[in-house]
Amino acid sequence: MAHQDPLRNFRYRLEINHIEQAGFAKVTVGDLSIGPIEYQEGDEITTVRKLDGLNKYGNITLKWGITASMELADWHQC
């Protein structure tokens, strides 16, 4: 009898350190925002330049998953 992969039925797979840890049926990704930084050189009074600022990432929500490893649960407890 062939060994079946239980993660095959899930649309999304979680990989940590090149090891596949779990499969999930639904993933929700929060918004990404980049806040501008205004920059003005000392000798140019009228010109204000805008540069890319800090990236802010929203939360990732993983739903309806399965795993055969306790490593993911141990990582979550830390």
More confident residue, 75 or 32: 32
pLDDT tens for residues 21-70? 788 889 898 898 888 888 887 776 777 888 888 888 899 898 888 887 78
Other residues' Cβ atoms within 10 Å of the Cβ of residue 21: 18
Each domain of the chain, given as residue ranges in start order, spans 6-77
Check residue 50 and give its pLDDT.
87
Residue 18: both structure tokens together: 């090149």
pLDDT at 1 exceeding the cut of 60: no
Residue 11: what residue type? R
CA 64, 66, 23: angle at the middle one, nearest 5?
A: 85
CA distances 18 to 10, 13, 15, 29, 57, Å, are 18, 12, 6, 21, 22
- Predicted TM-score (pTM) of the model is 0.54
